[in-house]
Amino acid sequence: MRKFIFLTVLVVVGTLRAHAQQDAQFSYFMYNSLYFNPANAGIENLTRFTAIHRSQWAFYQSDFDDGGAPQTQVISLSSPIFKLKSGFGGHIVRDQLGNQSNLEVQGAYAYHLGIKQAKISLGVRFGFVSQSYDFSKYRYIDGGDPILSSYSGIESQVRPDMAAGIMFMHEKYYAGVSFTHLLKSTFDFGLNDTRNALTNHMYINGGFYYNLSTAAKFNFPVLFQTDFNQYNFTVGTIMTMMERNKEKMWAGVMVRQSEDVGLMLGYHFLKDKSLRVGYSFGYIFKDQAAKEPTSHEFILIYELPPIGPVDKKQQHTPRFRH
């Protein structure tokens, strides 16, 4: 019966994170790059705060109270350290998957190497992951199983976590690779015959920019992710409209090979356009019988005024300033 309970956990997690993804997925992956790769810490020479809320399979409800549809919140910070030619950052993630709740707190550091008009960044990330299960939401067959008396409510465990990555960034293109959950921490909740481990994941992201005119430019981002058993591939296109050489609004689409297609819209606020607010509507095209067909994602980004050497003219692109 012990294995039955944790088998149920693994089935739920596997269903909610299709194609071998334990980590949360986002439509706005291109604006949440620090989550995937610690080498992005401070690489754009900007201090940036980002907040994301994602409701996946919105309004989904099962036949019994299991916690409902997946919901994810992220708060992150990225900032340069000019004197050390580096950057730091961190994020807090809450990921609710039915009766399972994950809390992740991570801090990142990256060292930047300048190469003409480009940068190479090497980053590491350390932190912890907490997993919690509400055992009261499980349906069971054998009411006499002793584990049910031991775990009748919410149980939690905390484990260390680590990631590393490398990033290359130019004004016109960028590419990076990272490896997460390097420690392969396990969550057993005192059950020695069962291990629910964080598996290694590899992320490869990249993209390029195309300036259509002084009034519009494009970003073409790509994200490949795998746990070395299965993989997932996401591509997108974002058009940014300019006003007086400043970004004003954006619109785009993204397609996730394993599940959905999304429409993204956003607008820049404040006089210096330092506040961005965006929304993404996702439509599920796979296994609709087991899910609700839509997902919703909101993003809020605030950037502090750029700092750095005052004797160099500053150039602006969607992701790189120097």
**CA nearest neighbour of 160 among 95, 203, 110, 107:** 107
Range from 11-20, 21-30, 66-75, 251-260 carrying the lowest mean pLDDT: 11-20
Share of the chain above pLDDT 90, in %: 57
Measured CA to CA, the distance from residue 196 to residue 187 in angstroms comes to: 5
AA letter at 262: G
Is pLDDT at 175 greater than 60 in this prediction?
yes
- In this predicted structure, what is the pLDDT of residue 172? 93
Given a contact cutoff of 8 angstroms between Cβ atoms, the answer to whether 54 and 26 are in contact is: yes
Measured CA to CA, the distance from residue 242 to residue 250 in angstroms comes to: 9
Q: How far is CA 155 from CA 89, 102, 131, 260, 296, in A?
A: 30, 12, 8, 33, 29
Domain 2-303 is in which class?
mainly beta
Q: If pLDDT is split at 50, 70 and 90, which confidence band does 205 have? A: very high
Q: If pLDDT is split at 50, 70 and 90, which confidence band does 320 have? A: very low
Write out the DSSP string of 251-310.
EEEEEETTSEEEEEEEEEESTT--EEEEEEEEEE-S-GGGS-SEEEEEEEEEEPPP-S-T
CA angle 201, 202, 205 (to 5 degrees): 135
DSSP state of 316: B
- In this predicted structure, what is the pLDDT of residue 8? 36
The domains of the chain are located at 2-303
DSSP state of 39: G
For the stretch 106-161, pLDDT in tens is 999 999 999 988 999 999 999 999 998 887 776 666 666 655 556 667 888 999 99
CA angle 123, 301, 128 (to 5 degrees): 40
**CA nearest neighbour of 175 among 203, 217, 212:** 203
* Residue with tokens 């929304």, as numbered in its chain: 279
